[in-house]
Amino acid sequence: MALWVWLSIMAAAAQTARTAGQKHLSGSMSSWSATWVRFVFGLPFVIGYLLVATSGRADALPVLHPTFFMWCVGTAAAQIIATVLLVHLFSLRNFAVGTSYARTEAFLTALVGASLFGEAIDTAGWIAIVISVVGVVLISLAKQGVSGMALIRSGLNKAAGIGVLSGLFFALASLFLRRASLSLGDPDFLTTASMTLVTVVSIQTVLLGGYILATRANELPTIGRAWKACLFVGLTSAIGSGGWFTAMTIERAAYVKAMGQIEFVFAIAVSTLIFRERSTARELVGMSLVAVGIIVLLLYAR
């Protein structure tokens, strides 16, 4: 399999672990602080990735330019908003279902990418994305059933709206970060991906950190006391983001996101094994459709 596929799988696994860690933290601090933790504790690790990725270069590093910073700021802002919305979902739905609402981002990434960014998706690619999204919807509706009324209620309730909005901002973040990385014009994808990642995480750390200091400074001692959990969230966030940024530098964001749907398998496993939440038959069917979508993507999409 191509390198971007393995990077996507690694990122999905790390993201599942990070999200579980954030769920744990959200019980003792606000969504904003739980979100900031992933950036501030992840920054040293992404800097390490940059140092390793560029250590063997004979040429000078690419020159950073205004367009690059514009895309990075857009990525940082979109990801902050999306993550806060995702963490907030934990108070509205259980772990696996809440996560699945937000993962409408795979379809939204394809739609926005094809419409506004010229990232063409072939027929097989669209089929793969749609199949996996149907699987996601089944997972989302598993706790309510899949009747017409249940579908309407799910589409109109607060959790669904927040989840879709979160997915849209995650989609924009993915498309923006790919533009930022490609704008550096360097053939070494490890260099451009790691430079983009460090820039984005630095911006996120400063922006959200300023907001935390101004509005939630009383939560800083709580963060300090939970440093072990925060370090876990930071590490898994850095691994996940490193995988996503690098994969999206190599391949179209929509395909990377479609491959990333494998996270649902990981999320339900974590939900069942760690949080003791029961998975239904419909969730298992949804997982199967996600798997079929990924197989179609890998075998037929170009």
pLDDT band, very low/low/confident/very high, at 99 (cuts 50, 70, 90)? low
Helix/strand/coil percent split, the chain, to 5: 80, 0, 20
User: Tens digits of per-residue pLDDT, 155-191?
Assistant: 566 777 787 888 899 999 999 999 999 999 999 999 9
pLDDT band, very low/low/confident/very high, at 94 (cuts 50, 70, 90)? very low
Which residue has better confidence, 111 or 27? 111
Angstrom CA distances, 221 to 28, 40, 198, 212, 218, stand at 11, 15, 26, 12, 7
Question: Measured between alpha carbons, how far is 162 from 101 in angstroms, rounded to an integer?
Answer: 8
**Is the distance from CB of 132 to CB of 106 less than 8 angstroms?**
yes
User: Tens digits of per-residue pLDDT, 220-234?
Assistant: 999 999 999 999 999
| pLDDT score of 154 | 56
Under DSSP, the state recorded for 61 is: P
**Is the distance from CB of 182 to CB of 136 less than 8 angstroms?**
no
Sign of CA dihedral 253, 256, 262, 263: negative
Q: Which two tokens stand for residue 251?
A: 């391949």
Under DSSP, the state recorded for 91 is: T
Does the pLDDT at position 143 exceed 70? no
Does the pLDDT at position 271 exceed 80? no
**How high does pLDDT run on average in the chain?**
86
Which residue has better confidence, 235 or 300? 235
Does the pLDDT at position 151 exceed 60? no
| pLDDT score of 302 | 80
**Is the distance from CB of 302 to CB of 124 less than 8 angstroms?**
yes
Question: Measured between alpha carbons, how far is 97 from 22 in angstroms, rounded to an integer?
Answer: 16
| pLDDT score of 150 | 53
| pLDDT score of 201 | 97
| pLDDT score of 208 | 92
Q: Which two tokens stand for residue 141?
A: 């509706």
Question: Measured between alpha carbons, how far is 122 from 277 in angstroms, rounded to an integer?
Answer: 38
- Only one residue has tokens 């922006």, namely 207
Identity of the residue numbered 13:
A
- The percentage of residues in the chain with a pLDDT greater than 90, rounded to a whole number, is 52
| pLDDT score of 205 | 96
Total number of domains constituting the chain: 1
Question: Measured between alpha carbons, how far is 89 from 26 in angstroms, rounded to an integer?
Answer: 10
The parent domain of residue 90 ranges over 3-54+62-300
C-alpha atoms less than 13 angstroms from C-alpha of 96 in its C-beta half-sphere: 32
Read off the pTM: 0.87
User: Tens digits of per-residue pLDDT, 13-65?
Assistant: 998 889 888 888 878 888 889 889 999 999 999 999 999 999 988 889 999 99
Q: Which two tokens stand for residue 271?
A: 């939900």
Most trustworthy range by pLDDT among 70-84, 98-112, 132-146, 168-182: 168-182
| pLDDT score of 147 | 52
Q: What angle do CA 156, 158, 160 make, to 5 degrees?
A: 65
Q: Which two tokens stand for residue 13?
A: 């696994």
Window from 17-21, 94-98, 234-238 with minimum mean pLDDT: 94-98
Q: What angle do CA 42, 44, 47 make, to 5 degrees?
A: 110
